[in-house]
Amino acid sequence: MGGSHYLVKPAPDKIALIAVLKAPRDLEIAARDRWYRIPLKKAPKSAFTHIAFYQPACFKPDGKRIAYYAEVKACSTGRRIDIFPGEPEHPAALRLYKKYSLGPLIRLPAPILNTSGSRISFGYAKLKRLALARDILGIFEVFPIENMMCGALKSAGLGFFREYNIMLRKKVKYRLDFALFCKKGKLDVECDGRCWHSTTGQRAKDAGRDYWLKRRGWTILRFGEHEVLHDAAGCIGEIRTAIKSLGGDKDETSLYK
């Protein structure tokens, strides 16, 4: 593979990057060829020593779980065409990627299941928690802030849709954490986790997403992890103010009311 090549700096503690696989082929590559790739623009900035692989619903019948992880041995940067020389016509052929060289896949004593139905994205967890957890929620140091916000919205009696899909040309363009429909507009409430949304690349991506939504009539409220954890009442107060400015609740069927 072309590009620079260097050893990954070890973290003070053994930390696993929770990586979401797009397709079964990616897990097969990790097992057979011992590497994993992430687009350079989306590559995590924080140090990690291992990668744990989340298998989404497309891994039938073994989806919605983490069953394997591997140690990161080294990392290189190069174009996709260098990684997959047999796919020169791929739209991302010239895009830069991080390629992580791995040790052999290690099977967890028991798979970590996503029984809560939580949306999973890239994140970090202490490696020792992988062997102990039986549910996705158990591998993180704090209860996912989206679940905390969901509980706060329910307690406040507000109607909302969780993980609301914005479609474009019959495909999901964006998935909103919480969508609330008001008489004079639409409100998107987002919960920004400290690990992922603090990166420069993700902040730029969030700004582009918000601009696109605002042009289509959405009002966006973003709450950081600290706000949701320590001042949920304050968050609800801001949400109520936004609802009032948008004419109040709209009489529309909601998943939660």
Q: What is the pLDDT of residues 89-123, one digit of tens each?
A: 999 999 999 999 999 999 998 999 987 667 787 88
Domain limits, the chain = 5-139, 145-245
SS3 label, residue 150: helix
- The DSSP element (H or E) to which 214 belongs, if any, is helix 200-214
The per-residue pLDDT for 49 is 95
The per-residue pLDDT for 254 is 58
| Same-fold call for 5-139 versus 145-245 | no
User: Greater confidence, 157 or 118?
Assistant: 157
Spatial distance between the Cα atoms of 115 and 149, rounded to a whole number of angstroms: 18
- Residue 239 confidence (pLDDT) above 60: yes
- Residue 165 confidence (pLDDT) above 50: yes
Nearest to 43 by CA among 16, 19, 74: 19
- Residue 142 confidence (pLDDT) above 50: no
User: What does the DSSP assignment read for 38-83?
Assistant: EEGGG---S--SEEEEEE-TTSTTS-SEEEEEEEEEEEEEEEHHHH
β-partners of residue 189 are 178, 221
Q: pLDDT per residue over 19-56, tens digit each?
A: 999 999 999 999 999 999 999 998 888 899 999 999 99
CATH class of 5-139: mainly beta
- The band of 2, judged by pLDDT with boundaries at 50, 70 and 90, is very low
Q: 145-245: which CATH topology?
A: Endonuclease; Chain A (3.40.960)
Beta strand segments in 142-170, E: 161-168
Q: CB burial class (10 A; 0-12, 13-18, 19+) of residue 158?
A: buried
The per-residue pLDDT for 5 is 42
- The band of 204, judged by pLDDT with boundaries at 50, 70 and 90, is confident
Spatial distance between the Cα atoms of 201 and 206, rounded to a whole number of angstroms: 9
